[in-house]
């Protein structure tokens, strides 16, 4: 009887009831790492983890990185912070970045939930016990478009698709967005003007350049006092969209342009310009106003009539394009 049971068990193994390398050819499929997966077997111990994805772990991994349904060793359950995962599961645990949710690597009847970041896609390696076996492999990892930029959160809407990444260039007024669309689609996204500004040196509004996959495209733009709402059509597939601001080289227009911050005036107030890093002698005044410097070298913009009164009283002197106040604290 024992011999018959052993033969049956051996038959199950030979037929592939348990995980084997043959799964690689059963059901090849690319699944995006942002997708929520209800039940998951992971059979690879070289996980590269960087982008948010929520998965449910069914069972746990043994020291070889293969699925097992035996009782896990102590220490495999608890708050995960990138350092607590057993070293036997993942060879390079330094690549792991997860949140502090509690996860329990238990038996097949004990499901745990863990938020993981994966810079790659998951390869589908077939099924076992009716569940997908997915592998996150280093050879599928590519540098993301935002790896060299700062992440940013923007309001957007898209149907039958999703935004994968959003980031901004810290050195120029540009925003980069990657999206995936399953069908012909339309993306609407709102970008603050202080992130992507398009003005000349006199703060006159210019057009923002929009590139989709490195090609310039027409988009509909709705202006609000502090932002632009872009609406653009997309073909199915993955796309990289760049919103490129324009400004005069060598002149930091964000220091003095009211257009960027949603102000009705052409130039910001002298105080705002100074707070943004503008030198007092370089402050720009709106039409009909003249720049003077107070006794403490702080700038002020005054009307022509006020300027003339100050000259008549001998309280200011003309130095270049600015009027200097010698005796009063305007």
DSSP states along 158-219: -SSEEEEEEEE-TTSSEEEEEEEESSSEEEEEEEETTTS-BB-TT--B-PPEEEETTEE---
Band (34; pLDDT cuts 50, 70, 90): very low
SS3 269: coil
Residues in the chain, total = 330
Query: Comparing 185-194, 285-294, 319-328, which segment has the lowest mean pLDDT?
Result: 319-328
Q: How far apart are CA 165 and CA 157, in angstroms?
A: 14
Q: Over the stretch 222-265, which tens digit does the pLDDT of each residue have?
A: 999 889 999 999 999 889 999 999 887 667 898 999 989 988 88
Judge whether residue 35 has pLDDT over 60.
Answer: no
- By the 8 A CB rule, do 75 and 86 touch? yes
CATH classification at residue 203: 2.60.40
Cβ neighbour number for residue 306 with a 10 Å cutoff: 17
Is residue 177 a contact partner of residue 243, using CB atoms and an 8 Å limit? yes
Which residue would you say has higher pLDDT here, 205 or 126?
Answer: 205
Q: 212 and 294, same structural domain?
A: no
- Enumerate residues 6+ apart whose C-beta is below 8 A from 1: none
Arithmetic mean of pLDDT over the chain: 63
Same domain membership, residue 123 and residue 27: yes
Is residue 10, in this structure, part of any structural domain at all?
A: no
Q: Dig out the tokens for 74 from the structure.
A: 């102590």
Q: 96 and 135 in contact (C-beta within 8 Å)?
A: no
Spatial CA neighbour of 58 closest among 43, 80, 74: 43
pTM of the model: 0.52
Name residues whose C-beta falls within 8 Å of residue 319's C-beta, 6 or more positions apart in sequence. none
131 and 154 together in one domain:
no
* 136 and 24 in a common domain: yes
Question: Greater confidence, 126 or 276?
Answer: 276
Six token digits for residue 196: 């992507």
Residues 203 and 240 in one domain: yes
pLDDT at 170: 85
Final residue of a domain: which of 110, 140, 170?
A: 140
Would the pLDDT of 28 be above 50?
A: no
**Per-residue model confidence (pLDDT) at position 296:** 76
Same domain, yes or no: 278 and 198: no
Backbone angles phi, psi at 95, to 5 degrees: -85, -5
Domain that holds residue 39: 19-140
Pair 39, 110 in one domain:
yes
What confidence score (pLDDT) does residue 1 get? 52
308: pLDDT confidence band, cut at 50, 70 and 90?
confident
Q: Which residues contact 23 (CB under 8 A, 6 or more apart)?
A: 16, 43, 125, 126, 128, 133
* Mean pLDDT value across residues 185-200: 92
pLDDT of amino acid 146: 82
* pLDDT the model gives residue 268: 94
Task: Tell whether 330 is covered by a domain.
Answer: no
Mean pLDDT score, 278-304: 88
For residue 18 the two structure tokens come to: 């348990």
Choice between 274 and 110, residue whose per-residue pLDDT is larger: 274
Q: What is the pLDDT at residue 167? A: 93
The verdict on residue 86 lying in a domain is yes
Same domain, yes or no, for 210 and 302?
Answer: no
Instruction: Find which of 35-49, 102-116, 154-168 is predicted with most confidence, using mean pLDDT.
Output: 154-168
Residue 1 in domain: no
Last residue of a domain, one of 79, 105, 140: 140
Q: In the predicted model, is pLDDT for residue 209 greater than 60?
A: yes
Instruction: State the Cα–Cα distance between residues 224 and 6, nearest whole angstrom.
Output: 74
Q: Does 304 reside within a domain?
A: yes
CA angle 157, 159, 161 (to 5 degrees): 100
For the chain, how many structural domains are there in total? 3
Residue 327: Cβ within 10 Å count: 10
Asked if pLDDT for residue 109 goes beyond 50, the answer is no
Same domain, 28 and 115: yes
On whether both 120 and 157 belong to a single domain, the answer is no
Asked, for residue 285, whether it belongs to a domain, the answer is yes
Residues 82 and 121 in one domain: yes
Domain boundary pick from 140, 163, 182: 140
Same domain, 204 and 119: no
Q: Any idea what the Cα angle at residue 152 is, between residues 149 and 158, rounded to 5°?
A: 115
Q: Is residue 258 part of a domain?
A: no
pLDDT of residue 317: 56
Report if residue 23 sits inside a domain: yes
């Amino acid at each position: 009887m024992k011999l018959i049971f052993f033969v049956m068990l051996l038959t199950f193994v030979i037929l592939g009831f348990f995980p084997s390398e043959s799964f690689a050819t059963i059901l090849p499929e690319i699944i995006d790492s942002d997708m929520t997966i209800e039940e998951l077997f992971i059979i690879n111990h070289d996980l590269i983890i960087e982008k948010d994805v929520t998965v449910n772990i069914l069972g746990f991994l043994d020291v070889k990185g293969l699925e097992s349904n035996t009782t896990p060793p102590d220490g495999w359950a608890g708050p995960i912070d990138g350092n607590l995962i057993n070293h036997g599961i993942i060879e390079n645990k330094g690549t792991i970045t997860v949140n502090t949710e509690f996860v329990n690597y238990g038996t097949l009847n004990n499901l745990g939930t863990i938020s993981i970041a994966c810079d790659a896609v998951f390869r589908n390696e077939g099924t076992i016990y009716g569940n997908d076996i997915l592998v996150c492999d280093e050879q599928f990892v590519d540098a993301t478009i935002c790896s060299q930029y700062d992440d940013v959160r923007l309001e957007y809407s898209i149907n039958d698709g999703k935004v994968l990444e959003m980031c901004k260039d810290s050195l120029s007024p540009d925003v980069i967005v990657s999206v995936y669309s399953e069908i012909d689609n339309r993306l609407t996204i709102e970008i603050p003007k202080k992130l992507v500004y398009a003005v000349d040196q006199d703060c006159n509004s210019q057009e923002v350049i929009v590139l989709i996959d490195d090609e310039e495209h027409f988009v509909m733009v709705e202006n609000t006092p502090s932002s632009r709402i872009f609406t653009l059509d997309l073909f199915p597939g993955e796309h990289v969209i760049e919103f490129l601001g324009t400004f005069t080289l060598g002149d930091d227009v964000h220091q003095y342009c009211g257009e960027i911050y949603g102000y009705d005036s052409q130039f910001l107030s002298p105080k705002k310009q100074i707070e943004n890093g503008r030198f007092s002698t370089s402050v720009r005044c709106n039409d009909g106003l003249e720049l003077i410097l107070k006794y403490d070298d702080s700038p002020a913009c005054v009307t022509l009539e006020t300027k003339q009164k100050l000259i008549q009283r001998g309280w200011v002197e003309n130095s270049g394009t600015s009027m200097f106040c010698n005796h009063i604290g305007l």
